[in-house]
Structure 1
Amino acid sequence: MNQVLSATQATQFQKAMQHLIAGKSQTALGMARDLASEQPGAADAHQLLGMCLGEQGFPAEASSAFERALSLLPGNRVVLKNFTAFLVKQGKLFRSRHQFDAATAFLQRAVKLMPDHRFAWAELGMALRLTGDIDGALSAFDKAVKLGGGTPALRNAINGTLQDAGQLETAVRGAQQLVNENPGYAGAQETLANILWENRQRLPREDDPFRLFRRAVKQQPENTELHISFVRMLLSAKYWDEALNVLLPLRLRQPDNPVLSWYFAEALENTGEVEAASRLFSSIASKWNNNAGFLNAYTRHAFRRKEIDLANECASRAVVVDPGNQEAWANLGIFWRLQNDAREYWLFDYENLIEYIQIAPPSGYASNEEFLTVLQKKLESMHQVSGEPINQSVRGGSQTPGRLFGRKDPVLNELWLALQSAVENWLGTLPRDAKHPFLSRNLKAVRSVGSWSVRLASAGRHSNHIHNQGWLSSAFHVSLPHEVQIGDKAQNGWLQFGSPLESLGLELPARRLIQPKAGCLALFPSYMWHGTVPFTGEQARLTIAFDMQPTAGTK
């Protein structure tokens, strides 16, 4: 039975709430613990304790406190509302950390507590989409819409998820309608432009994936967020001159905005104004040297200028600012290589930190060939887009949208279990090194944070790149052209490691090459420079790739 707080305790409760609202959650937590101890039968005390614990980053204890409050006041709307708000906040937090399964668990609990909470349903849809559960995401989004949550952000998420589901025409129609109704909403413009870009080969020649985006930017000169979003897309598409034209008036209004100056410097460099770009990069760095993304861009600029010591300075600073930044380590490794520094091999260890292993077919298949044939048909049906994404390494091919694994597809689920087992068996053989950016984080188990399939046509390739969202990356070969399988001297379609981004102009050859074989999996640190040698042939080169982060337990 619920007990009422005494007058003195009620005063303490109000003071604790004031501290919590003022952002002094640690002080509030101490007071809440005292109240819950003094009056263990008071739902208000446990509810307050749950709120404070949640703010302090103790989700398990917070959940227990809210559960205790609900047991004392079953069905109480205030407790349910605050408990749900806590669960939604935790779901968003874990989603931001790429811990999508944990996010989903919190949000599923939220909608169970309050089935009419439209924001909880919307957030659950976001999390489910990122786990790969496309059908579950669309179902959750549908519930949010029916509860009155059809916001532009939710509709934009639905359009992106429809593309993931392969419902391309519906996604395009929805994205175009949303953009027409909300031309100043940058997220909707990005979604539509990305879909159209990937399918530009199907568009009429005179059509432009950026047409509506460009029109909105011209009509809304004061919408800085929209302009910056458009500039990012222009830079990704290598529309350097147009990016400069968009940035000029923005920089006049916001001359001290470091992001605008950074983008302007990148556009200047790529239009041949290298000296002006150098001066601008240097000016930005003197005031803003705590952003790893900018430092990586400045490092790339320094390499192109052959200013090797400056590249070292920037890359070294970047790994201090963000020790888990994969590009920063990749760039530092380039500097060590240029200096013939043995730390290149300590970091990359091309022999021991690159593994290539045969994956056994899942049970129920007579042979590896039988399983790969089934898998190939599944993947081919998912490659509906006609061109590569705007900001990926694919050249001359297509990439599946959304997350590949987690779609409740038995073939893909069986493959993931086999791949995960192989990955964790390999990780178990590696040593620990507390100073090494890869080996220091090896917990022997992994969770997937991104997965996709790539289909390369003749002359297609992966440009040299790294994976900044991962810790461990991969390439699983499903189907290979004859020209790749024969293993000639040209090494058509082979995997190559150690050769950096081509646009840096360093012309460093690969340190290791691997001839792909169907059914085999390549594993390597996400900061490892990798790409593929182009090939010529009639058949496509079909692969699956996935990025992983270390975890204390298996998925």
Structure 2
Amino acid sequence: MQNISSSTITKKLQQLFSLLQKGQTKVVLEELTLLLSSVDDNADVMHLAAMAHKADGAIDKAIDYFIKSININDNQPQVHNNLANTYKQNLNSKLAVKHYKKAISLHPRYIDALKNLGLLYLNQQDLGLAKNNFEQVLVLSKNDVSALTSLGNIFKAQHEFQTAIQYYQQALMVNPNYVNALHNLGVAYRMSGEFLLAIDCFKKAQIIAPNLADLDYNEANAQFDMGNYQEAEQAYWRSLHKAPGNCEVHETLNEFYWQIGKKSEFGKSFKLAIEHLPKNYLLRHAYAESLLSAGNQAHAIIIVEQALKLEKTPDLLHLKGKLLASAGDIKAAVLLIESSLLKQYKLSNALDLIELLIIDFDYEKALLQIAYAEQIAPKNQLLIAYKSICWRLTNDQRYEWLIDYQKHIQIYDIPVPKGYSSRAAFLDELQGVLLSMHQTEHEPLKQTLKFGTQTPGRLFHKPIKQIVELKNAFEEVTREYISALPKDNLHPLLSRKTNQISFAGSWSVKLKPNGFHVNHVHPEGWLSSAFYVQVPDFSHYPQTSEHAGAIKFGESSMQLKEREKIARIVTPKPGMVAIFPSYVWHGTIPFNGPNGVFRLTAPCDITPRED
């Protein structure tokens, strides 16, 4: 092997690094091939080879060269950081964390590695660890705008919007043109119900970054929240003109058309984008999902078959399985979804398989799938709900331990907030506020609601007097419910007993005549509730059920016919709150009545707060 001096190698590496920065990756790889034939023990050469292969898209080769560099010299924090970035790109979070930590141990003031590790934790929803990393960055650099913004993102993820807003504002004081902070400040304002402030942030950011489609998309969402439908529609289309392949924007735009009653426009954006991007199978997949949600299975299967000709992805196989199931071919659907999970395991797809196995009487196999999925998502309430059905149908005594329909479902009258002469006076004011938020014509596509409307956003984050009073009243009855629960460290409800709670979701539903909620659970909750603001006197109108308008518990969404069982029915009245475990199946019984009659509720989900 030719002997090359270290100064010659250093000079050569500088030249090649400059070429790599200019995007001349192929030239660098050719030169490195010659250099590597003469030098096989230089860590810097291996590091540059890794970076060049990564730039060329050869991730596995890049990882090999990073490891060779480290094997020659393990004390290189930058190489460990770059290797961690590559593992993160390759979806190997465990090894990414290992090498970020190694980089930081070698160089405790390595800000890039601290931030990169923090971002990885944030992506994994390990919010406490992420917060710790970004706080370390601020100790080293108190005005680091990306760290300030990331801390804002952490508090936003915890629904602590006011704290998040403070961090974004602090970042913008350092750099008023930092788009990431300005964008997320707008999102936080929107999530806390400050729609005008949100739109102002998005418009300012659009001036700085006019090609960033997400800014138009989030402005559209805020305009929709305000009922400014023309402005929302225009902003959605601006976003799609900038990013025609963005499936999330297409789905939201078509959801928008559905809810406001412009069904003639439904699917238009997908069709135009598919014409423009004919080889984009993801667009076809998203379009088929939207069609399925809208009840158009026949058109959805045509689009799925077109997409499968482009790419046989696990998600497309899963979607075809769902469509076969909707057509009644359960066994073929099971085979397809099983094959998709063997190629790539996804919890959402596994949940669909579990449901089909239960429908097909295969409870043993369903329970095996549940046990595997619980290793990934032990608190997922839908998994527990499916388990409850399997246990009931196999006469497993644990079913009665899991759900006590008398003790676990409790009914309260909402406390009367201070300043009101009666509960009725509070409900009257609250009803006016809530009705002003129900501006759409139809229910959301992917919700359990049928023949009604649902408010957008998070109700309890709106800075409106009556909503704040309602949230405070909910906290009071929720703590009363929790205080009465016993402790059982093995029980999925009782083991999480705590006084530290958060409202994970809150909204209002206006049910019209013939309206109802299909049976469902709340997968991301711990406790769920139904609060009744307005309940008509159903006895004034002919009804098909003596329990019209009531909430029922125990019957699943799987339409198991004689295998279904309603365990409890609760008749609502204005001011009543029902609180129950989020994994308990529940739905409503439809009611009849003339146009103008409605039932108004304000449900919410509650989770233990994780500081």
TM-score (norm 1): 0.85
Indicate whether 1:534 and 2:590 are aligned: yes
Go from structure 1 to structure 2 and tell me whether the alpha carbon gap of 1:518 and 1:150 turns closer, same or farther (over 3 Å shift). Answer: farther
Once the 2 structures are TM-superposed, how far is the Cα of residue 281 of structure 1 from its aligned partner? 2.9
> SS at the partner of 1:436?
coil
Q: How far apart are 1:277 and its partner, in Å?
A: 2.1
Alignment-mate amino acid for residue 298 of structure 1:
L
In structure 2, the residue matched to 1:28 is: 103
Q: Which amino acid aligns with 2:287?
A: F
Match of 2:359 in 1: 304
Alignment counterpart, residue 171 of structure 1, candidates 219, 224, 232: 232
- SS of the equivalent of 1:531 reads strand
Counterpart residue number, 2:427: 372
User: Matched residues in 2 for 1:122 and 1:379: separation?
Assistant: 28
Q: Secondary structure at the match of 1:377?
A: helix
Match of 2:247 among 168, 172, 186: 186
Q: Is the 8 A contact 1:443 1:552 kept in 2?
A: no
- Separation in structure 1 between the aligned mates of residue 341 and residue 140 of structure 2, nearest angstrom: 52
Report the identity percentage. Answer: 30
Deviations 1:388-418 (A, max 9, x none): 1101111111111122121211111111111
State the SS of the aligned residue for 1:375: helix
* Aligned twin of 1:36: none
**Equivalent AA in structure 1 for residue 601 of structure 2:** T
Alignment partners' CA distance in 1, 2:350 and 2:306: 25
Pairing partner for 1:496 from 533, 546, 552: 552
Partner residue in 2 for 1:145: 206
The 8 Å contact of residues 337 and 349 in structure 2, kept in 1 or not, is answered as no
**Range that drifts further, 457-466 or 342-351:** 342-351
CA distance in structure 1 between the aligned counterparts of 2:267 and 2:149, rounded to whole angstroms: 35
Aligned partners of 2:528 and 2:603 also within 8 Å: yes
Distance 2:160 2:491 in 1: 23
Aligned to 1:267: 323
Cα gap change, 1:65/1:299 in structure 2, threshold over 3 Å: closer, same or farther? closer
**What is the CA-CA distance between 1:504 and the residue it aligns to?**
4.8
What is the match of residue 130 of structure 1?
A: 191
With over 3 angstroms needed to count, the CA separation of the structure-2 counterparts of 1:503 and 1:115, relative to structure 1, is farther
CA, structure 1 residues 283+185, in 2 after alignment: closer, same or farther (shift >3 Å)? closer
Cα deviation digits, residues 252-291 of structure 1 (max 9, x gap):
3333x21111101111222244443233234334555x43
Q: Which amino acid is the alignment partner of residue 284 of structure 1?
A: S
Higher relative contact order (CA 8 A, sep 6+): 1
Residue 212 of structure 1 pairs with residue 269 of structure 2 = yes
- Residues in 2 aligned to 1:444 and 1:91: alpha-carbon distance in whole angstroms: 25
Distance in 2, matches of 1:190 and 1:480, equals 33
Give 1:130 deviation, angstroms.
3.0
Superposition pairs of residues 120-519 of structure 1, within 5 angstroms: 120-148=181-209, 151-179=212-240, 182-200=243-261, 203=262, 207-255=264-312, 257-288=313-344, 290-483=345-538, 490-505=546-561, 507-519=563-575
Change in 2 beyond 3 A, CA 1:244/1:96: farther
The one-letter code sitting in structure 2 at the alignment partner of 1:27 is: K
Q: How many residues align?
A: 514
Partners of 1:276 and 1:52 lie apart in 2 by 44
Preserved contact between residue 100 and residue 116 of structure 2 (Cα < 8 Å)? yes
Residues 81 and 113, structure 2, Cα contact 8 Å, conserved in 1: no
2:603 alignment partner, SS class? strand
Shift of 1:447: 1.1
- The higher radius of gyration belongs to 2
- Kept in 1, the 8 Å contact 2:359–2:558? The answer is no
Superposition deviation, residue 166 in structure 1: 2.2
Counterpart of 2:228 in structure 1: which amino acid?
A: Q
Displacement of 1:59 in angstroms is 4.9
How many angstroms apart in 2 are the aligned matches of 1:446 and 1:484? Answer: 38
Rounded to whole Å, the distance in 1 between the matches of 2:135 and 2:332 is 59
Is 339-348 or 14-23 further displaced after alignment?
Answer: 14-23
Supply the distance in 1 between the matched residues of 2:583 and 2:162 (Cα, whole angstroms).
25
CA drift at 1:378:
0.8
1:52 deviates by: 7.5
The C-alpha deviation readout for 1:298-348, integer Å capped at 9, x for no partner, is: 111122223333333323332233212111111110011111222112222
Matched, 1:550 2:608: yes
The amino acid that maps onto 2:583 is: Y
SS in 1 for 2:602: strand
> Which whole-Å CA distance do the structure 2 matches of 1:139 and 1:95 have between them?
19
Q: If the length of structure 2 is used for normalisation, what is the TM-score?
A: 0.77
The alpha-carbon distance between structure 1 residues 178 and 141, as it changes in their structure 2 partners (threshold 3 A), is: closer
Structure 2 stretches of 5 or more lacking a match? Answer: 1-72, 85-98, 122-127
- CA offset at residue 149 of structure 1? 5.3
Give the secondary-structure state (helix, strand or coil) at the position aligned to 1:473. Answer: strand
Structure 1, unpaired ranges of 5+: 1-11, 34-44, 71-78
Aligned AA for 1:496?
K
Q: Is the Cα contact below 8 Å between 2:149 and 2:171 reproduced in 1? A: yes
Aligned partners of 1:29 and 1:53 also within 8 Å: no
Structure 2 vs 1, CA of residues 177 and 62 (structure 1 numbering), >3 Å: closer, same or farther? Answer: closer
The answer to whether the 8 Å contact 1:26/1:52 transfers is no
Q: SS state of the match for residue 356, structure 1?
A: strand
> Moved runs in structure 1, 4+ residues, more than 6 A?
484-489
Contact 2:214 2:239 in 1 (8 A): no
Separation in 1 of the partners of 2:377 and 2:131?
A: 28
| Higher alpha-carbon deviation: 390-399 or 16-25 | 16-25
**Counterparts in 2 of 1:68 and 1:284: CA distance versus 1, 3 Å:** closer
For residue 102 of structure 2, what is the amino acid of its counterpart?
T
Give the whole-Å Cα distance in 1 for the aligned partners of 2:246 and 2:112.
Answer: 37
1:100–1:127 Cα contact (<8 Å) kept: yes
Letter in 1 for 2:186: G
Shift of 1:111: 2.8
**Letter paired with 1:513:** I
1:183-235 deviation line (CA, Å, top 9, x unaligned): 333222112101111122xx3x7x24222223322442211332222222122
- 1:292 touches 1:325 (CA, 8 Å); kept in 2? no
Q: How far does the alpha carbon of each residue in 1:48-86 deviate from its partner, in whole angstroms, 9 at most, with x for none?
A: 79647746764555455444445xxxxxxxx73xx2212
